[in-house]
Structure 1
Amino acid sequence: MKKLLLATALLSSTALTGCVVAVTDGEYNGHHSWKKEQRENREKISQLKIGTEYQSVLSKLGTPEYTDMVSKGDTVYQVLYFATNSKHSDGVVTKDECTPLLFKDSKLVGFGDTAMAHLL
């Protein structure tokens, strides 16, 4: 009986040799995935119009990489950062690899570094 179990175990292990299991943790699934997503983000951002509602932008672009919010007087500014220009696929997106979208009282007032400069 022991010899039969040993033979079965040996045969099973050789049958499994070479099996590969791919597991991801939600990060980009390859070189082309992050580039495609960022190209799509650039295309969607370029089609936005001044005055677009905050929720509408979220519906079109999905969850941003980062968000900021600040109040100046009676005005609330929100900034959404979407990945648009990563240099390499290290799985980490920093703010300098994103395009900021600036909202004033929940309406889009601009995007990019020029819009942010007006906030400061």
Structure 2
Amino acid sequence: MLKKFIRYLILGLGLYALIAASVIMFYKDDPQAMIWQDREAFNKRFIEKLSLEQPTTLNSVLDYLGSPDLTYAKRDGEQVFQIVFYRTQHKTSDGITTMDECTGLLFKNGQLFLWGPSAYNKYQEQN
């Protein structure tokens, strides 16, 4: 009787470990389904890992982070500039996301060009 119990216990723990490992490995985080605190931290972690050595496209950011909180775009001749803002720091509990609560990512023709506090200033300099 005890051997049977131990066998089922080991089988159950093994099955639990297999399911838990599968969820961790194959379940993609969905920023749209997160509560705002988790999404904010998720956005911040992603943005902190950005690098100009690794080309990043607007589509890859949208695929990973989902819809931006704010977005603006303009054309200057053949150049298209788009800045997207993702919330990364909470300031005021008023239900409205403002630019000072976000980090801007500036794209030039769909390629990441600049991000952080200076991104919006650079965007405004464009005609």
Same fold (TM over 0.5): yes
Letter paired with 1:71: R
Q: Which runs of 4+ in 1 moved over 4 A?
A: none
Does residue 1:85 correspond to 2:83, yes or no? no
- Higher mean C-alpha displacement, 110-119 vs 98-107: 110-119
Identify the match of residue 112 of structure 1 among 103, 107, 116: 116
**Matched residue type, 2:85:** Y
Query: Aligned pair 1:94/2:98, yes or no?
Result: yes
State the alpha-carbon separation in 2 of the partners of residues 116 and 71 from structure 1.
15
CA distance in 1, matches of 2:99, 2:122: 18
Give unpaired runs (5+ residues) of structure 2. Answer: 1-34
**Larger relative helix fraction:** 2
Overall identity of the aligned pairs, in %: 36
Q: Which runs of 5+ in 1 are unaligned?
A: 1-32
Supply the distance in 1 between the matched residues of 2:117 and 2:77 (Cα, whole angstroms). 23
Q: Are residues 116 and 88 of structure 1, via their aligned partners in 2, closer, same or farther at CA, if it must alter by over 3 Å?
A: closer
1:114 counterpart letter in structure 2? S
Letter in 1 for 2:46: K
* Conserved 8 A contact 1:34-1:89: no
- Residue 40 of structure 1 pairs with residue 42 of structure 2: yes
Aligned residues: 89
| Secondary structure, counterpart of 2:61 in structure 1 | helix
In 2, Cα distance between equivalents of 1:67 and 1:117:
14
Q: Deviations over 1:85-119 (max 9, x none)?
A: 12133321112211111000000011112233333
Cα RMSD for the two superposed structures:
1.8
Rg comparison, structure with higher value: 1
